[in-house]
Amino acid sequence: MSVNYGSKRLVVGAHYGLRDWLGQRVTAALMALFTVVLLAQVLFSAGPISYDKWAGIFASQWMKTLTFCVIIAMLYHVWVGMRELWMDYVKPIGLRLVLNTFSLVWLVGCAGWAIQVLWRL
Partner 1 sequence: MTELAKKRPEFRNINAFKDLPSYRWPLASLVSGMHRISGAIMFLLMPFIIWMFDNSVSSEISFAKFKFAFNVGMLGLPGFIWKLLALALIWAYLQHFIAGIRHLYMDVNHAVSKEFGRSSALATLVLSLGLTVVLGAKLFGLY
Bridge partners, residue 10, by sequence = 4
- Residue nearer to partner 1 on the CB measure, 36 or 97: 36
Query: Does 103 participate in binding partner 1 (rule CB under 8 A)?
Result: yes
- Residue nearer to partner 1 on the CB measure, 13 or 81: 81
- DSSP for 23-60, please give it: HHHHHHHHHHHHHHHHHHHHHTS-SS--HHHHHHHHHS
Query: Does 19 participate in binding partner 1 (rule CB under 8 A)?
Result: no
Query: Does 39 participate in binding partner 1 (rule CB under 8 A)?
Result: no
Out of 32, 42, 98, 108, the residue judged to bind partner 1 by CB under 8 A: 32
Residue 27: burial class (beta carbons within 10 Å; 0-12, 13-18, 19+): buried
Q: Which residues contact 99 (CB under 8 A, 6 or more apart)?
A: 86, 90
- Residue nearer to partner 1 on the CB measure, 6 or 92: 92
Name the site residues for partner 1 (rule: CB under 8 A): 25, 28-29, 32, 35, 51, 54-55, 58, 78, 81-82, 85, 103, 106-107, 110, 113-114, 117, 120-121
